[in-house]
């Protein structure tokens, strides 16, 4: 997929092992199916509407109980010094993939999307 521009490397560095440790402590029940039903793609809501387990874009955004259990992830988010909207941990099952796509929802017209790989090959 040709994006026509290079990715921007941000000036932050995080302790992936520390993030992974917190993520591994989350219960399996915290992981929700992808809203589009993409096979093998699950997520944990960290910041969401009303702080509950949902994928909604509108409404007052609050930290979820999952984020409140992850002290270091809270520090990572705070280090950006910005207001955050819907934020999630994403997980792919072995053999699953993210198909090329465009996030066309109006929410993304004036919001920035940042991906931080924690565990990857």
For 17-73, write each residue's pLDDT tens digit. 999 999 999 999 999 998 888 889 999 999 999 999 998 878 899 999 999 999 999
Determine the Cα–Cα distance for residues 118 and 111; give it in Å rounded to an integer: 22
Return the pLDDT at 27. 96
Return the pLDDT at 110. 66
The band of 107, judged by pLDDT with boundaries at 50, 70 and 90, is low
Res. 74: pLDDT tops 90: yes
For 75-95, write each residue's pLDDT tens digit. 999 998 988 888 999 999 998
User: Of 56, 85, 62, 66, nearest to 22 (Cα)?
Assistant: 66
User: Of 111, 119, 120, 117, nearest to 13 (Cα)?
Assistant: 117
């Amino acid at each position: 997929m040709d994006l026509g521009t290079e990715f921007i490397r941000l000036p932050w560095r995080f302790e992936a092992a520390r993030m992974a440790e917190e993520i591994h402590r989350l219960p399996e029940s915290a992981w929700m199916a992808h809203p589009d039903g993409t096979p093998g793609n699950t997520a944990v809501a960290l910041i969401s509407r009303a702080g509950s387990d949902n994928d909604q874009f509108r409404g007052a955004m609050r930290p979820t109980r999952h984020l409140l259990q992850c002290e270091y992830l809270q520090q990572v988010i705070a280090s950006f010094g910005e207001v955050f909207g819907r934020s999630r941990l994403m997980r792919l099952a072995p053999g699953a993939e993210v198909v090329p796509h465009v996030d066309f929802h109006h929410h993304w017209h004036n919001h920035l999307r940042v991906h931080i790989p924690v565990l990857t090959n």
